[in-house]
Structures are given as C-alpha cells and as structure tokens.
Chain A
Amino acid sequence: MGKAYDRVLAARSADKISIQDLVAGITDDFMELHGDRAYSDDPAVYAGIGTIAGQPVTITSIQKGNDTDENIERHFGSAEPSGYRKALRLMKQAEKFNRPIINLINTPGAYPGMDAEYKGQGYMIAQSIMQGLKLKVPYISVIIGEGGSGGALALAVGDTVWALEDSIYSVLSPEGYATILWKDSSKAAEAAEQMQLTPKELLDNEIIDKIIPEVKDAKSMQNFKEALIEKINELNKLPKEELLAQRHERYRKFN
C-alpha cells in the first residue's frame, strides 16, 4: 500500500480528534448557533461564536459523527444545502460584527441525496464560494481530516488554508477517481498516489499554505491555537483593501 493511501486512511480514522473537541480546545468559551433561517438546521455543520485569547471569532465547520447514530444524522460529515446556508449566514454575521472567521473542515463531500439536489446543493455551494471570497474579515480555513471536493471548497476560500498532518484535500475521493478513470473503485490506493492529495503535495502546489502537526494532545492543541492567534493578529492588522487584494491574488494565481 502506498504512502498517499496511508494518509487517506489516517484522515478518515475514527481516532481523529472530533471537531467539537477541537473547538473546545482552541476556544476559551464557545456557543453553538443553529439554523439556516429558511427551513432547517443541518447537524453536519457545527457553528457558532467563541473567543480565542479573548478575541471573539465565528467558527463554522463540517463534522463527522463520533458514533453510528451521529454519523447517520450527519450523513458521515456530508452537509446539505441547509448546512451551507447556515454556515454562510454565520460568516456574513461575522463580517457584520467584524469578527474573524475560522472554518474547520472534515467532509468526504457535499451530501449526494435527492432532497439535497431539490434544495439547491449546487446553488448553495456556489454562493458560499462567491460570497465567501468577498467577506471583509480575516478568514482562515483548516482541513482537519477529509477535504472532499466542492463541499469542502465551499468553506475554504479564505485568506489562508491549512491542513492537519493527517488530512487530504482532493477534487473527489480516491475511490471515485478510480471508478471514473479506471472503472474500478478497488484501485483507490493507486488513485491516491496520483492525486497529489497529501498535505505535502498540497503545500508544494500552493493549494494550502501551512501544515499543522496532528492535534492529538494538549501540547499539539496549544500549538494549533497559537498558530491561529498569530495568524488572526497578522490578518487583523491589514487594511481591508489589502486583505481582499491578497486573498484575490491567492485564488487568481491558479492558472
């Protein structure tokens, strides 16, 4: 088995720290906020306001479950349009109150269900991307485990995108890639080798800006928290026009 596929397995591991534990670890205090203000509240999207070193921040995330029941409820970390609507609503709120945004992402992709299509999965991802790129506050995204396709990108168009050591970010799952290109989903390991989905390769390709040592104890949590504080302080100092100009350049350069 190849090295890239080991990373895929590690990214998906049940031992991976949960998003809620991560949020509890980096914030002094946190309150979850619910609802898309249209019709629903998607449990795959965990979001709210908290403070980090006294500074209020908005955190939105896509989370998997810790057990079967939670995983069923959260579609194994796959958000529905309602989830993206909730996340976008809270990101816009952060902009209104001039709070930095931190997005934590662990999703195999947006939920491929019938109802999700009826309720505009494509439209909501598109809007999250387009409006997210223009938010006038510091916007940091971190791939925590899986960063699957457009469903991950929807929350990853900020000023900087980081990835935990054991994470992947790709245009689709290695299984899906193997199915489409070789009509054989069992060739996922081979696919993973080709897809350049590991943090190191993502960093080399400037898809991400930083690799964060895997958060698995108090020390690594503290390290992650300090990296966030440092980046928030740095981005807070930039005039809005400069912040947006730098973000613009970050996405314009992909040619």
Chain B
Amino acid sequence: MKNNKSEETKDLQALMDKVPDHLFIKCPVCEENFYNKKLGEYKLCPNCGYGFRLGAQERINMTVDEFTPIDSEVSAPKRFLSDEKYAGKLEKSKKATDLNESVQTGFAKIGDTEFALGVMDSRFIMGSLGTATGEKLARLFEQATEKNLPVVVFSCSGGARMQEGIHSLMQMAKVSQAVSDHAEKGLLYISVLTDPTTGGVTASYAMEGDINISEPHTLIGFAGRRVIEKTIQQRPPKDFQRAETLLKNGFLDAIVKRDEMKSVLAKLLAWN
C-alpha cells in the first residue's frame, strides 16, 4: 500500500515537472482543480471564493495605496540563537519572506486615510508569535496611540513560537496591553483574521478588535484539530473552526471577500 502510494506520488511529481509553472491548482477547501490563471490578482478560488495564502508584502500591495514599514530590522533576540536548529529556521524564513520576523508593521494609507498596519506572514515559521513579533506589534499599537491613528492587523499564525517557550506566551499579554491602551484612547482597531489564525494569536490580539472580520473559509481556532480529535475521540465536521461557523456563533462581525477588503476597510476607517 505504502509502496504504491509513493510510486503514485513519484509519477505525479514526474508529470508535474513536465508541466510548466504548475498549471493546475487544487483548492484546499473545496478541492476543485482549476487552471492557475483563474486565480486572478486576488488569488481567489473561482469555485468557493477561498483566498489562497499570501505573503505579507503581497497582502499589503493588494490592500493599501501606500505603506511605510517601521522596525523592519527587529528580529528574534540573540539569547535564543544558541539553539542552532532554531537559528537555522529563522535564517530560512528570513530568506523565504524577505522579512526579519513573522509580522510586517508600518504606516499605511488608503486614499487619504492614514492608519497603522500589521500584516503577519504564515511562511515565517508558521506565522508563530515570537518575542520580536510581539515587540513589533506592541510598538505598532504604541505608536498609533501616540499619533491618534487607527490600527488594522491581518493575523495569520500557527500560534505560539515553541522555540521561545514561555517568552512567546508573555507576548500575548504584552500585545494585549498595547491594544488595550490604544482602545482606552478611543481609537479604532480592526482585526482581520486570515487563514489560518490559531492558538495564542486567536487567544489574544486577533480576538481583541473593535471589529473582527475574516475572509471566506478561513481557519480560526484556539486548540489544534488533532489535539481536539485526540481529546474527544471523534472527528469534528468539515466546517469546524471555519470563519462561517464563527460568524454563525457570534465571534465575527463579518466575512469579507478579499477583492472587497480594501473598500470595506476604507469605509470602516472613515466611520470611526
């Protein structure tokens, strides 16, 4: 059985190697196969509207008119780098994303409206919440508070950064505190939960917005699916931990398709 499968995979790989640019893509949500050109500029599944995962820069390019990054140089504190395996992972992620941490922060404009913007990148160690991730987000909220600006954060994260242990957990408190200070000044925070937003990020700033919105079929949860399956000894349904289910249960304000995100943000920013 196992042998057969690996043979099959090999054949498929051989086939794919011959097809230039991986012409066909399978949607991870509806499992429909389609021609990659049909993804379009917003990278949406033409069948179910699922938005394929984006890098932070790609997201910024399609969502705002102007962006000036801050704290780009901030990366994992040196004290963690004695763990060689972790240091290697960081290097690989930095190369893959052109970022020094799992979030890009800065000041953005849509039209004339200025706001602080944070965008996480799931390619950077699963978008996990490292100490530097927390530091960049805390500074973003602090600067926005000082400048009287609203904040928009696009979250996507596998949760805590295991390699930084308890220090990762403390970031949940540090960022939440900065969110709270910003809120106390009467300023708007829009949290956009994108695929996937899980663990400690869901259990902190992703769920602390004045307005919490998401994209179609986004995975949002606290506990991991495998842990849940092991605990309750059954398989959750397909729509478990999907944005549509959270909307129905009262934990999201709206689900916004990616090609409408910019205009929805512009509207919400103007109203608050």
User: Using a CB–CB distance below 8 Å, which chain A residues touch chain B?
Assistant: 110-114, 116-123, 125-127, 129-131, 133-134, 149-150, 153-154, 157, 169-172, 176-177, 180-181, 194-197, 202, 205, 207, 248, 251-252, 254-255
Contacts and interface: CB of A to CB of B under 8 A. Distances in A.
Given A112-B227, A114-B228, A123-B207, A255 B77 contact: yes
State the main secondary structure of chain B at its contact with A.
helix
Contacts of B199: 150
The 7 nearest A-B residue pairs measured at CB: A122-B202, A112-B223, A122-B222, A125-B203, A254-B170, A126-B207, A121-B222
Interface stretch (B47-55, B113-121, B130-138): B130-138
A130 B172 CA distance: 9
B170 A112 contact: no
Given A126-B208, A129-B176, A195 B165 contact: yes
B222 A129 contact: no
B268 interface: no
Contacts of B166: 169-171, 195-197, 202, 205, 207
Interface string B116-149: 0000000000000001101100100000000000
Contacts of B156: none
B97 interface: no
B190 to A, nearest CB: 15
Contacts of B134: 254-255
Contacts of A130: 176-177, 179-180, 204, 208
Contacts of A129: 172-173, 176, 203-204
State the main secondary structure of chain A at its contact with B.
helix
A138 B220 CA distance: 34
14 contacts: A113-B223, A122-B222, A125-B222, A149-B160, A149-B169, A150-B200, A172-B162, A181-B163, A194-B165, A195-B165, A252-B138, A254-B131, A254-B174, A255-B138
Interface of B: 77, 131-132, 134-135, 138, 160, 162-163, 165-174, 176-177, 179-181, 184, 199-200, 202-208, 220-224, 227-228, 231-232, 234, 236, 240-241, 245, 249-251
Contacts of A110: 203, 222-223
Give the most central of B172, B232, B245: most A CB within 10 Å.
B172
A11 to B, nearest CB: 14
A252 B222 contact: no
Given A116-B223, A149-B169, A254-B171, A122 B203 contact: yes
Contacts of B165: 170-171, 194-197
